Amino acid sequence: MNTKYVLKIIIVLLLVGLFSCKIFELREGLISSDKESANNNAPSEAVESLSPILILNDFNNGTAQNNLEKEDFVWVQDPCTIEPVYNDKSSPHEGAYSLKINYDTKKTGGGAWITYPGSIDTSKYKWLQFWVKGEKGGETFAVEIKDAKEAKSKLNIKDYLDSTTTRWQKVSIPMSDFASTGEGNPDMSQIIAVALVWWEELSLPVSGTVYVDKIMLVRDEKIIKNQKGLSSDLVLDDFNNGTNQNNLQQNDAIWAQDPGIITTAYNDKSSPYEGTYNLKIDYDTKSTGGGAWMLITGTIDISKYKSLEFWVKGKNGGENFAVELRDSNDVKIKFGINNFINKVTTEWQKVNISIDEIKNSNSEIDLAQITVIGFVWWEEYSLPVKGTIYLDKVMLKK
């Protein structure tokens, strides 16, 4: 065969091979690019909630871990000091604890207490809301948010309160105000920090103590209007610490009579009414058994409240149970859930039970000495004999 002809064939084959490789590389590059694009557009692992309220920190676990299971922390510039106390129980706005912050900027320093939510999309919320008071009154600070690229925005607390006082006050900051300050134009869909800041003109007076409680994001202004007076309510259990320890620092419990079965999941996050978790209860009375989930309150006086309130939904709808109260002398009273709502459904419903109704139903029960609030499956309250309910935010309302 002619040598020149052979060389031409070899050259053609090499060119075809190179061309095929290039197509393969291009195809792989497109696939890789598609994968990267898909990953970039995939939902973030950041904590998000479809609930009307997202609680960032209610401080009821007494530690630096917030309600989104991240660790809060402080930042200081020497010689400033910022000292948080997470288990202060001197006078919380609600629940067991509030956050106490001792600060001293030493005139030339600065610092911040920072709640770290991971990375959350705050663009879905209209308001940042929290409660604050001072040890003496007149304390000042800024509220700062920061995004994943370190862009920040600060707002002076004096723009939202005339002055901090020694009484709890609610602060409601429109999220749009952070976007309009022009300091850094943070990406509201990637917020990684919400902070209380003492810096420059925002650090006068140079030292003091503030108390903070229940920092949350709120979707709807109506919710804010409906929360007036919450400082006098008592949250018994909002389940946001993911354990059986309630907001009164008591351990909730279950009771079952054979062959009945009651199981609980305190860290259910499938669809909480608000916050991080709700309580999930699976029950099966086996027709002849029974059981209860019991919120152990210690001993509390509920006579000064107007109502017992909680939120409930069922897995399938139509679930049945009774609400039972028990005093320190073991006097009990039960109410069927269908006395207060038409029926349990697969959507969250608020249940409100008047304290006067409880008192009028059994004059022997001592409302000043209540030790247990239970959800009971027993006799006529155990039909259907098995099911699943979800509970959230059990509280006493003023």
The predicted structure's pLDDT at residue 78: 82
pLDDT band at 44 (very low <50, low <70, confident <90, very high): very low
Higher pLDDT, residue 26 or 116: 116
The predicted structure's pLDDT at residue 219: 79
Is pLDDT of 203 > 90?
no
H/E run at residue 283: strand 278-284
| Distance of alpha carbon 94 from alpha carbon 281, whole angstroms | 25
- Please give the average per-residue pLDDT across 355-359, as a whole number: 92
Is pLDDT of 352 > 80?
yes
Tell me the average pLDDT of the chain: 81
- Please give the average per-residue pLDDT across 1-29, as a whole number: 45
β 332-336/234-237 pair status: unpaired
The predicted structure's pLDDT at residue 147: 92
H/E run at residue 34: helix 3-41
Is pLDDT of 54 > 50?
yes
- 3-state class of 252 per DSSP? coil
The predicted structure's pLDDT at residue 393: 94
What percentage of the chain carries pLDDT values higher than 90?
Answer: 44
Is pLDDT of 20 > 60?
no
- Please give the average per-residue pLDDT across 119-129, as a whole number: 89
pLDDT band at 204 (very low <50, low <70, confident <90, very high): low
Is pLDDT of 224 > 60?
no
> Is the sign of the CA dihedral 70, 71, 76, 80 positive or negative?
positive
The predicted structure's pLDDT at residue 323: 95
The predicted structure's pLDDT at residue 366: 93
The predicted structure's pLDDT at residue 51: 56
Is pLDDT of 223 > 70?
no
| Distance of alpha carbon 289 from alpha carbon 261, whole angstroms | 8
Which region among 69-78, 195-204, 305-314, 347-356 has the lowest average model confidence (pLDDT)? Answer: 195-204
The predicted structure's pLDDT at residue 4: 52
Is pLDDT of 279 > 90?
yes
61-94 pLDDT, tens per residue? 899 999 888 999 999 888 889 999 999 988 888 8
The predicted structure's pLDDT at residue 326: 93
Residue 75, beta-bridge partner list: 112
The predicted structure's pLDDT at residue 248: 82
pLDDT band at 229 (very low <50, low <70, confident <90, very high): very low
The predicted structure's pLDDT at residue 263: 94
* Structure tokens that stand for 123 in this block: 């663009």
H/E run at residue 264: strand 261-268
pLDDT band at 106 (very low <50, low <70, confident <90, very high): confident
Rounded-to-10 torsion of CA 37, 43, 44, 47: 170
Higher pLDDT, residue 275 or 187: 187
Q: Please state the pTM of the whole predicted model.
A: 0.51
Which region among 9-23, 93-107, 136-150 has the lowest average model confidence (pLDDT)? Answer: 9-23
The predicted structure's pLDDT at residue 31: 30
Is pLDDT of 141 > 80?
yes
The predicted structure's pLDDT at residue 312: 97
**Would you put residue 123 in left (φ > 0), alpha (ψ -120 to 50) or beta?**
alpha
